[in-house]
């Protein structure tokens, strides 16, 4: 073997070390190309940061009442940059504070539904057979129920408790998740690595947890970004009816409701919270769409 050959072999070797393109890096690249999704992501991060940090910098508290400044229009001089509401509370702080609650409910309730949905769907899909049939039949039965009405009933009967909202909304949303996860699990469990795990004598719960669930991640991520806006919507809907978050706490839905009552004389009380709510939902939907296209680019 000549020195030239060795050199050629070495250069070939170093070329072989060029990083392969995984599903994720591929998807990431496609997502980066999607301007709408990236813009939405940036806007959403800004809104989230505003909601978390900005109230601390405002000179007003979210429940601070000023009877001298009722329904004043946005005004930079008196530092009520979004104006005030019907009892003189600063709308800027209230909008952001309401956003904090709306986003928090969105994320936590989605996590609740995620937890139930993944464990239920993965178990049903992996075990298969009769267990699967029974478990999915239960999902079918629950699926046909008008759950929104039940959430309203829950709120009416057991008081307007914020934790109840998490549980109620989470308990509705897991059904979709369970169906999607089960479908995915059915195809995953025939893959070689699962067979290998079975051959090694790994226990069933461990296979589900270590080998099935991590591979569900892609579809779950997409679904989470599409569930969060749905949950925010449900919470806003309840708060709009006066059944959600209670005074002096607030959420975007509750603020829209209050704003709608005074909209003829004070449209800003409706427009600011409505704008924030719609923008947030808009961004989540765009990101969800972008992620779906990035992970499964068949529609483009």
Partner 1 sequence: MLRYTLRRFLGAWPTLLILMTMAFFMMRAAPGGPFDTEKTLAPEIQANLDKKYHLDEPLIKQYGRYLYDLAQGDFGPSFQYKDYSVNELIATGFPVSLRLGGTAIILAFFIGSLLGTIAALRQNTATDYTVMATAMTGISIPNFVLAPLLILLFAVNLQWLPAGGWNDGAFKNTILPIIALTLPYVAYISRLMRSSMIEVLRSNPIRTARAKGLPEHTVILRHAMKPALLPVISFLGPATAGIITGSVVIEQIFGIPGLGRYFVQGALNRDYTLVMGVVVFYGVLIILFNIIVDVVYALLDPKVRY
Binding site for partner 1 (CB under 8 A): 141-142, 144-146, 148-150, 152-159, 229, 233, 236-237, 240-243, 253, 256-257, 259-260, 263-264, 267, 270, 274, 277-279, 281-282, 285-286, 289, 298-299
**Least distance from C-beta 37 to partner 1, angstroms?**
12
CA dist., res. 44 & res. 277, Å (int): 11
Classify residue 16 as exposed, middle or buried by CB count within 10 Å of its CB (0-12, 13-18, 19+): exposed
Length of the chain: 300
Residue 207 or 277 with smaller CB distance to partner 1? 277
Residue 150 or 193 with smaller CB distance to partner 1? 150
Residue 83 or 259 with smaller CB distance to partner 1? 259
**Least distance from C-beta 67 to partner 1, angstroms?**
26
**Least distance from C-beta 236 to partner 1, angstroms?**
6
**Least distance from C-beta 220 to partner 1, angstroms?**
21
Residue pair 267/85 in contact by the 8 Å Cβ criterion: no
Read off the tokens for 212: 């099935």
**Least distance from C-beta 282 to partner 1, angstroms?**
4
Residue 100 or 160 with smaller CB distance to partner 1? 160
Residue 105 or 208 with smaller CB distance to partner 1? 105
* Residue 129, phi-psi category: left (phi > 0), alpha (psi -120 to 50), beta (remainder): left
CA atoms 119, 120, 124, 127: torsion sign: positive
């Amino acid at each position: 073997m000549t020195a030239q050959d060795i050199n050629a072999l070495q250069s070939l070797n170093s070329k072989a070390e060029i990083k392969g393109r995984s599903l994720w890096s591929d998807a990431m690249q496609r997502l980066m190309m999607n301007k709408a999704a990236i813009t939405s992501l940036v806007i959403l991060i800004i809104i989230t940061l505003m909601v978390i940090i900005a109230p601390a910098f405002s000179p007003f508290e979210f429940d601070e009442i000023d009877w001298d400044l009722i329904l004043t229009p946005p005004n930079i001089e008196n530092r009520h940059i979004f104006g005030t509401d019907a009892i003189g509370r600063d709308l800027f702080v209230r909008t952001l504070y309401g956003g904090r609650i709306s986003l928090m409910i969105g994320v936590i309730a989605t996590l609740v539904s995620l937890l139930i949905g993944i464990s239920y769907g993965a178990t049903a899909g992996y075990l298969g057979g009769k267990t699967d049939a029974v478990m999915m039949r239960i999902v079918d039965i629950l699926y046909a129920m008008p759950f929104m009405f039940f959430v309203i009933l829950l709120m009416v009967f057991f008081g307007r408790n914020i934790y109840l909202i998490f549980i109620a909304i989470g308990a509705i949303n897991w059904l979709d998740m369970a169906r999607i996860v089960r479908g995915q699990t059915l195809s995953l469990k025939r893959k070689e690595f699962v067979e290998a795990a079975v051959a090694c004598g790994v226990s069933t719960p461990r296979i589900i947890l270590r080998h099935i669930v991590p591979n569900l991640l892609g579809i779950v991520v997409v679904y989470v970004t599409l569930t969060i806006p749905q949950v925010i919507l449900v919470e806003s809907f309840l708060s709009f009816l006066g059944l959600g978050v209670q005074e002096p706490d607030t959420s975007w839905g509750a603020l829209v409701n209050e704003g709608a009552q005074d909209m003829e004389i004070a449209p800003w009380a409706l427009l600011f919270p409505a704008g924030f709510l719609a923008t947030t939902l808009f961004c989540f939907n765009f990101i969800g769409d972008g992620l779906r296209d990035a992970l499964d680019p068949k529609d483009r």
